[in-house]
């Protein structure tokens, strides 16, 4: 394994000081859009800048992507899968430099950066197999000498709006499946992590050029919310897959629904772990700590709430406090550190405001938070993970704060714990720590967790490619990645074939001439 320095990583990935931010594959576009400057939250230094798209270049990109779709959909799905297989191999080649860029531009630990690229590799592998399994059903017809079946066709241009916290993985969840389904993709990355998108497009271009993939199958349009609005309004974009805040998701859903388009929404989470009186506390402490402080609490699956049985509440609280005392906060490229910075100073302000609200509402801090200053913390984005004892009905607890703040809540009965767990507007990830089979099964039953993800004896954070990822309620209801999530990128068509010499009608209707 080569130890890439950040400058060497940037050079390897084709990142320059100034970069064009709009591409249809073979072509990079100049535009009059705003200049996006990417400053690392690690050290506050300028990494590079990106010339973002404007309405004119966006329109050109959609035209090119629409034209490419008409050719790409004709490629046999296994042939499209072969291209994705080669892309997976390219990502293996670039895993270290891309993982380092993810860590440096976003602020997550280098191990998490490498893990994010591994997710990209895994979804490539998943998509390759899937390219030979885009199957439909065959049904028996009520009419003699008739056959019914269903098949799936690509839907066209897919627009992808991604968030800063997973600057490459979530894009890949969508594109790899959409591509093997026969769709083309336009990516609007987060304006906070634009360089990661440039790196990904460079890797894709290298593979696509070798395989003669039509220009426009993979497109990016960097920019601010204006590009997202243009994408949501454009009737040529069949599906909008948007990851981000609930506020953003509601705006996208409203705009797209007005033109009767499709949406796939992955929005906020307010995830809880229930720790029962018979839980393995050692496992619970590890799961809760990583879930709360991993990516500095900036995952949609981050653990926000611990719902702890009253008989073990003090023990869990004390052990968590001890575990937090061992956390090392600092440069995420140093593998000895557990916690890196928040994405920017605005995120730090949100964190500080949340701490104030906890106190105003009557919460008690078990581990005090605060902003770190001094050598190594010059960017102003490093904060201390905090723990507070609260009540579930506190307004601040009801909202997702994208920061490492963990709330502790007592419960008496499992029914009460499940009610507390479900007693928020978000419904992404959930977990229970228990050694009692009845508790596990109740938590997973229809009267248990109301989230899209429900785990037993693991935390809320982290998900494998094989399972469909997504949540309910204000989380948006979307599903990405594994299982049958591929169907959202396709349209279902029911077919009936009459191979007889007469024309009987359904439901026995008579119509004789």
Q: Which residues are catalytic?
A: 266, 300
Q: How far is CA 95 from CA 100, 136, 209, in A?
A: 8, 35, 20
Sign of the torsion angle spanned by Cα atoms 103, 108, 114, 115? negative
Count the neighbouring beta carbons within 10 Å of the beta carbon of residue 63.
13
Q: Are the beta carbons of 9 and 47 closer than 8 angstroms?
A: no
Q: Are the beta carbons of 285 and 319 closer than 8 angstroms?
A: yes
Residue with tokens 């297989």: 85
Report the distance separating Cα 71 and Cα 257, nearest Å.
28
Q: CB neighbours of 446 closer than 8 A, spacing ≥ 6?
A: none
Give backbone dihedrals phi and psi of 412, rounded to 5 degrees, phi first: -110, -45
CA angle 180/70/78 to nearest 5° reads 25
Residues, the chain: 513
Q: Are the beta carbons of 483 and 477 closer than 8 angstroms?
A: no
Report the distance separating Cα 114 and Cα 1, nearest Å.
12
Q: How far is CA 347 from CA 302, 342, 377, 382, 403, in A?
A: 15, 6, 15, 10, 8
The secondary structure element, H or E, covering residue 159 is strand 157-161
Q: How far is CA 275 from CA 133, 185, 248, in A?
A: 40, 42, 33
Token pair listed for 177: 């499946």
Report the distance separating Cα 79 and Cα 85, nearest Å.
10
């Amino acid at each position: 394994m080569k130890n890439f320095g950040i400058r060497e990583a940037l050079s390897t990935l084709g990142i320059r000081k100034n970069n064009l931010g709009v591409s249809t594959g073979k072509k990079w576009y100049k535009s009059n859009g705003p200049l996006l400057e990417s400053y690392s939250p690690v050290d506050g230094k300028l990494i590079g800048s990106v010339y973002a798209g404007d309405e004119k270049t966006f329109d050109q990109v959609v035209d090119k992507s629409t034209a490419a779709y008409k050719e790409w959909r004709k490629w046999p799905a296994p042939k499209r899968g072969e291209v994705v297989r080669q892309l997976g191999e390219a990502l293996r080649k670039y895993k270290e430099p891309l993982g380092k860029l993810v860590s440096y531009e976003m602020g997550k630990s280098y191990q998490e950066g490498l893990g994010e690229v591994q997710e990209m590799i895994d979804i490539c592998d998943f998509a390759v197999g899937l390219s030979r399994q885009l199957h439909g059903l065959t049904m028996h017809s009520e009419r003699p000498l008739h056959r019914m079946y269903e098949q799936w066709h690509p839907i066209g241009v897919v627009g992808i709006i991604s968030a800063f916290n997973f600057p490459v993985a979530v894009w890949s969840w969508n594109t790899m499946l959409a591509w093997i389904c026969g769709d083309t993709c336009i990516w609007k990355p987060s304006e906070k992590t634009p360089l990661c998108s440039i790196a990904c497009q460079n890797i894709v271009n290298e593979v696509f050029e070798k395989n003669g993939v039509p220009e426009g199958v993979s497109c990016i349009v960097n920019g601010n919310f204006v590009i997202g609005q243009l994408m949501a309004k454009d009737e040529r974009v069949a599906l909008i897959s948007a990851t981000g805040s609930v506020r953003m998701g509601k705006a996208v859903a409203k705009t797209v629904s007005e033109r009767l388009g499709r949406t796939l929404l992955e929005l906020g989470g307010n995830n809880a772990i229930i720790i029962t009186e018979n839980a393995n506390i050692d496992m619970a402490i590890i799961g809760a700590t990583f879930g709360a402080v991993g990516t500095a609490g900036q995952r949609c699956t981050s653990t926000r709430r611990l719902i702890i049985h009253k008989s073990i509440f003090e023990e869990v609280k004390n052990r968590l406090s001890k575990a937090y005392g061992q956390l090392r906060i600092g440069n995420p490229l140093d593998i000895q550190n557990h916690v890196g910075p928040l994405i920017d100073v605005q995120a730090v302000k949100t964190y500080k405001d949340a701490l104030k609200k906890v106190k105003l509402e009557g919460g008690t801090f078990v581990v005090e938070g605060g902003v770190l200053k001094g050598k190594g913390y010059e960017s102003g984005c490093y904060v201390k993970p905090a723990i507070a004892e609260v009540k579930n009905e506190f307004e601040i607890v009801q909202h997702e704060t994208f920061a490492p703040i963990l709330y502790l809540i007592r419960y008496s009965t499992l029914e009460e714990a499940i009610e507390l767990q479900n007693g928020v507007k978000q419904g992404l990830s959930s977990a229970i720590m228990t050694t009692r089979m009845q508790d596990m099964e109740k938590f997973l039953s229809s009267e248990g967790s109301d989230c899209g993800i429900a785990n037993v004896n693991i935390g809320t954070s982290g998900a494998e490619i094989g399972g469909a990822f997504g949540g309910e309620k204000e989380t948006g209801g979307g599903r990405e990645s594994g299982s049958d999530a591929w169907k959202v990128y396709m349209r279902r068509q029911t077919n009936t074939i009459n191979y007889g010499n007469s024309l009987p009608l359904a439901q026995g209707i008579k119509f004789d001439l």
